[in-house]
Structure 1
Amino acid sequence: MTHDEKRAWLALSHINISSNKLQQFLERYSSICELFELSEKQLVQLGFRAGLKERLDNVTDDIIEHDLSWFDSDNKHLIPFNSPDYPALLKEVESAPKLLFVQGNKELLNQYQIAIVGSRNPTPQGKENAANFAKTLAQAGAVITSGMALGVDGCAHQAALDQGLPTVAVAGTGLDRVYPASHKDMAQDIVEHGALVSEFALGKGVRASHFPARNRIIAGMSLGTLVVEAAIKSGSLITARLAMEQGREVFAIPGSIHNPLARGCHALIKQGVKLVETAEEIIEELQALALWQAQSWQTSNNLGGGETQKRSSNEFELDDDYQKLMQVIDYDTTSMDSIIDRSGLEIDVVSHMLLLLELNNHIVSVAGGYQRRSD
């Protein structure tokens, strides 16, 4: 991304405009910068709402310069929807955000993620369930994704961090702010061992409308969503509903009929959501999806030289492409950047293949990258 393109996308972060409209624009024009050179009449003719020119002009150079000052380190990124770093699963969502601000390891956005959501005031058992499920799922190779809220979200993030494993937090504010303030230290740990993500412009504070928007990103980036505890009317059920609408797997942990925080989970189960009692049930369910999707990526990217035969995860054997990828992974820690450089593959393809290798115990995810298993 050029400097001018970065300025253009930062200006667009302050404007309510859909990624679909921008995609249509970029199919016709070579650069997003050209959007700012068009007249109001031309913009309207392209299908944009009247007044866009004025709104673009209202984003002053001072605002952009202030935004640019936030990018003071290598781990801060601006990822528009047309970037190869944009999460592939999220791009499938109809209302996908036009851009993402990311602080931390941007490569995690294209690794397999499992969302864990639930009450801000969970029971002691709910906290324990969130931590135990997150720990097991993270150890199995999934990136734990949540909203960094109090309660279940925080327990899930912390469980992954305690294992030295990555976690992704989607914020409901600009990334120059931390909400809730009590999670300031956790946010810093997530930056160091995972990633913070937001679609909101820098400087944006807390608004009620931000959280349903944040929830669609949590669900959209994740292969599946686990609801730990939730009241009948809660943001967690919004996340679950969005995940179902996006065609993703949703899981719910049952609880006591006397626990009001179990009623949301029970309502989901009645709607056909999968009841789970152990994290292993989620792993088993998602292994098949991961295998299918990895095979789809192989076929669509002409890997393997022909049609990929369907295999169960228990019958998984390394074909030539996976053997080649294994050869670029050391027994010492190998960073994602090194794996991509050595393999010559796109990040989306590598991420899918790495998860499948990890789920089948050929490699292990560690802080800073991956290691081949000695056995």
Structure 2
Amino acid sequence: MVEEHNNLYEVAITRLPGVGTQITRQLVSYCGSPQAVFEAPPGKLLKIPGVGPTLVKNLASGAKAALLQAEEWLKMAADLDVQLLFYTSPKYPDRLKQIPDAPTLLYFRGNGNLNQRRIISMVGTRQISSYGQTITERIVEDLKPYNAMIVSGLAYGVDVVAHRAALQAGLPTIGVMASGPETVYPAVHRKYAERMLTQGGLLTENPFGTRPDAPRFPARNRIIAGMSDCTIVVEAALKSGTLITANIAHSYDKEVMAVPGNITSPVSEGTNHLIKSLKASAYTCVQDLVELLNWDLQDEAAAKAAHRPLDLAEFTDDERKVLMVLHQSREEQMDNLSWKAQIPISNLASVLLALEFKGMVKAMPGKRFAILV
């Protein structure tokens, strides 16, 4: 009941007029919780940076309607078994949380762990060639030993081939949608979507009743790019939504890989361009990905750690806190590490640098840190 009560205010704050993602985070950070935002007096709200009289007026006038809307959606969520993941929820994707325009609230159906140790996004053209289909299936099959989660957009072409291959390989797979959580688009992929609910799931930032209109797809693509360790582009035209996704991933300082293709094929122009412009590394075999993301070093370190206890006597208090957190999870995003170890982010960088010099941790792509013992 407490969680449902919290969900009410978490959903409601996303329905307030004029309150976007950044202001929501600011309000919750200063007030302590979404409920506290609704209960805060105007004088307190006006002291928050970025909050002015117009916004305070919108909060007051829109609060009742927002709460009524939230109540309705909570009932729909319960009926359809939809989980409501506010950005402060432990189930919210940690990798996605690091990007500046991450959604405040996600709607999730399924059983997948959105913070699985290894997550790979696969994107590409809707006009997939036989070469593209073979390569997509091979990539997924080769990821089986690494137990990677496969993320894509449930669209025609590369997306659905990747999802289908993941289901066949027994890997979890997440479909990120541009519609509301109750709407599978295209409808012809419903049979795969239903299977994904028990082997991954369906994820969207769009509330109930949202149609998959064209402008929502680029926004959907930033979630695909933001919630994984690496985005692999299989086939893409030079001007396409797929290249938008790759460019978004690149702008987030995420790893991007592209499959080289036939220089006479229109659907290889995009992938070849990404490689040529140094926005993507070439994917020719799974070892390319393993080495890019240091998975081999991680597995080697994990094997060593399993046979050797961690001796903390020679480290400072802050170093011990970091090592204890990483010993449990093996790797963490810097922001999560700061929170779990209770070390301010301003101090954490120097602590991690000291541990790197001591050969205890290693910096990974996307501001992640892994323990090496």
Decide whether the 8 Å contact of 1:137 with 1:283 is kept in 2.
no
What residue identity is the alignment partner of 2:7? K
- Pick from 237, 241, 247: which aligns with 1:241? 247
Normalising by the residue count of structure 1, what TM-score does the alignment of the two structures yield? 0.74
In the TM superposition, residue 316 of structure 1 has moved relative to its aligned partner by 5.6
Decide whether the 8 Å contact of 1:77 with 1:103 is kept in 2.
yes
1:322–1:162 distance in 2 versus 1, CA, 3 Å: farther
Cα distance in 2 for partners of 1:230, 1:31 equals 43
Cα distance in 1 for partners of 2:39, 2:270 equals 50
Q: Tell me, what secondary structure is at the counterpart of 2:161?
A: helix
In the TM superposition, residue 87 of structure 1 has moved relative to its aligned partner by 1.5
| Residue aligning to 1:9 | 10
- Pick from 165, 169, 173: which aligns with 1:163? 169
| Residue aligning to 2:124 | 118
1:192 lines up with 2:204 in the alignment:
no
Decide whether the 8 Å contact of 1:110 with 1:351 is kept in 2.
no
Equivalences for residues 291-310 of structure 1 within 5 A: none
- Pick from 253, 259, 274: which aligns with 2:281? 274
| Residue aligning to 1:58 | 65
1:164–1:75 distance in 2 versus 1, CA, 3 Å: farther
- Pick from 289, 304, 314: which aligns with 1:318? 304
1:202–1:138 distance in 2 versus 1, CA, 3 Å: farther
Decide whether the 8 Å contact of 2:9 with 2:67 is kept in 1.
no
- Write the deviation string for residues 22-66 of structure 1: whole angstroms up to 9, x where unpaired: 2322232232112223466765553247353244443362x3333
Normalising by the residue count of structure 2, what TM-score does the alignment of the two structures yield? 0.75
Q: Tell me, what secondary structure is at the counterpart of 2:122?
A: strand
Cα distance in 2 for partners of 1:225, 1:4 equals 37
| Residue aligning to 2:319 | none
Which is further off, 234-243 or 82-91?
82-91
- Write the deviation string for residues 325-366 of structure 1: whole angstroms up to 9, x where unpaired: xxxxxxxxxxxxxxxxxxxx989954849xxxxxxxxxxxxx
Cα distance in 2 for partners of 1:35, 1:264 equals 46
Cα distance in 1 for partners of 2:325, 2:20 equals 27
Decide whether the 8 Å contact of 1:126 with 1:228 is kept in 2.
yes
Cα distance in 1 for partners of 2:124, 2:78 equals 34
Higher RCO by CA contacts (8 Å cutoff, separation 6 or greater): 1
Structure 1: tracts of 5 or more residues without a match: 292-310, 325-344, 354-375
Q: Tell me, what secondary structure is at the counterpart of 1:58?
A: helix
Q: Tell me, what secondary structure is at the counterpart of 1:115?
A: strand
| Residue aligning to 1:30 | 32
The sequence identity of aligned pairs, in percent, is: 32
Which is further off, 175-184 or 21-30?
21-30
Q: Structure 1 residue runs of 4+, over 4 Å off? A: 38-45, 311-316, 320-324, 345-349
Q: Tell me, what secondary structure is at the counterpart of 2:256?
A: strand
Cα distance in 1 for partners of 2:287, 2:213 equals 37
Equivalences for residues 86-101 of structure 1 within 5 A: 86-101=92-107
What residue identity is the alignment partner of 1:245? S
1:269–1:189 distance in 2 versus 1, CA, 3 Å: same
Decide whether the 8 Å contact of 1:231 with 1:261 is kept in 2.
yes
Structure 2: tracts of 5 or more residues without a match: 311-323, 333-373
In the TM superposition, residue 173 of structure 1 has moved relative to its aligned partner by 1.1
1:322–1:241 distance in 2 versus 1, CA, 3 Å: farther
1:167–1:10 distance in 2 versus 1, CA, 3 Å: same
Cα distance in 1 for partners of 2:234, 2:113 equals 27
Cα distance in 1 for partners of 2:327, 2:149 equals 15
- Write the deviation string for residues 298-348 of structure 1: whole angstroms up to 9, x where unpaired: xxxxxxxxxxxxx67557633259889xxxxxxxxxxxxxxxxxxxx9899
Which is further off, 275-284 or 238-247?
275-284
| Residue aligning to 2:154 | 148
